[in-house]
Amino acid sequence: MFNELNNRAADSLLALIKAFQADERSGKIDLGVGVYRDAMGRTPVMRAVKAAEQFLLENQDSKKYLGPEGDLQFVRLLEPIIFGKSPAFGSRLVGIQTPGGSGALRLGAELIQTANPSATVLLGSPSWPNHAPIFASARLPVKQYAFVDLASQQVTFESVIAALSSAVEGDVVLLHGCCHNPTGIDFTMEQWREITDLLVAHRLVPFIDLAYQGLGDGLEQDAAPTRMVLEAVDEALIAYSCDKNFGLYRERVGALYVMARNGDDLRKAESNMAALARVNWSMPPDHGAAIVRTILESPEMTAMWRAELEEMCQRVNGNRAALAAAAPELAFISRQRGLFSNLSMPKETAVALRANHGIYMADSGRMNLAGMQPADAGAIVAALRAEGC
């Protein structure tokens, strides 16, 4: 039967990692794969995570099954960080632990497909390359619309309004809560307000993907758009990832929250989430969520985590400022947020930047700002100019 399969392309970013490792030039710069890096170029285990692992090693006395919902204390302790302390909509929320933000997106997609198989998912383009395939594999039609013009690095807000205005009641709108991947271009609060009005007016369901809270302008500011939307709409889904803001990538830590109109709907959503989790992965992996729970149960570890996250955020924004200061044509980078910026360039230019200058970024022109040091700004600008960017 396997003979019937077609070969599928390997992840091009993984090929980029190998090419970077094989490059022997000393000045090479890795702006490729999307993980945080410190000033030494490492992706460290955060100090609070180490402390929590130590605590778990000494105190965890069982690894028995927890159930399809995973660690519900983890799910609850994240709530004030994401949604604020006692929000008005708090009683209409329910959450379940998932394998990363990806698992939350997949579970949310299947929940939507179960509840309303005729829903279409509206997705601003470009987006994280896994978004469209996740929804498509859950048998939901995806309608993509351009939301930015990369040549000018501006939101094309007319196209956002047009897409939302032409959607049908019950359609789902995927929104990046903060730190847009791959562009770093987030909506202003004013634009979020207009989007919220359209969601309400057309009875659309927001599905907010919040994968980088704390890496844009800080934990509170990064959650502000999500909270504003949730205050206004009847129903919503939130896919949350702890993999970046706790540096837990391979531990696969996330949660799916659903906001429903009333307690009846909430219980239906909750039981369906558990049933869908059961047939997908049965139960989520525990270790990463146990680490996050342990941190959030301890004021000392929480303070340690918040301080280190703040350092990470400042480092990325410092790199943004350094690039912007080195070249007026890159001033937009200091206004963008999160790990990424997506320059407008053909694939050949990304290839030439690697071959001629040892500067590695995705073929799409997406660069990870955490992969550089402020002192690299001059070399990056010179290379971009030499290649006609």
Provide the binding-site residues for ligand PMP, judged by CB under 6 A: 34, 100-102, 128, 176, 181, 209, 211, 241, 243, 254
71, 290 in Cβ contact below 8 A? yes
Q: How far is the CB of 144 from ligand PMP (least distance, A)?
A: 15
- Give the DSSP letter of residue 329: G
Q: How far is the CB of 31 from ligand PMP (least distance, A)?
A: 15
Give CA 77 to chain center in angstroms: 20
Closest residue to ligand PMP using C-beta atoms: 100
**For this structure, is 23 an active site residue?**
no
Write the DSSP string, 193-243.
Answer: HHHHHHHHHTT-EEEEEE--TTSSS-HHHHHHHHHHHHHH-S-EEEEEE-T
Closer by beta carbon to ligand PMP, 102 or else 342: 102
Cis preceding-peptide flag for 99 (omega within 30 of 0): no
Which residue among the candidates 30, 171, 209, 243 is catalytic per the annotation? 209
Closer by beta carbon to ligand PMP, 243 or else 286: 243
Which residue among the candidates 30, 71, 128, 222 is catalytic per the annotation? 128
Closer by beta carbon to ligand PMP, 175 or else 322: 175
Which residue among the candidates 30, 171, 186, 244 is catalytic per the annotation? 244
Q: How far is the CB of 204 from ligand PMP (least distance, A)?
A: 20
Closer by beta carbon to ligand PMP, 96 or else 383: 96
**For this structure, is 281 an active site residue?**
no
Both structure tokens of 98: 């998932």
Q: How far is the CB of 353 from ligand PMP (least distance, A)?
A: 22
Q: How far is the CB of 179 from ligand PMP (least distance, A)?
A: 8
Reference 247, options 31, 67, 38; nearest CA is 38
Closer by beta carbon to ligand PMP, 129 or else 374: 129
242, 210 in Cβ contact below 8 A? no
126, 182 in Cβ contact below 8 A? yes
**For this structure, is 128 an active site residue?**
yes
Return d(Cα 369, Cα 164) in angstroms, integer.
Answer: 31
Task: Indicate which residues carry an active-site annotation.
Answer: 128, 209, 244
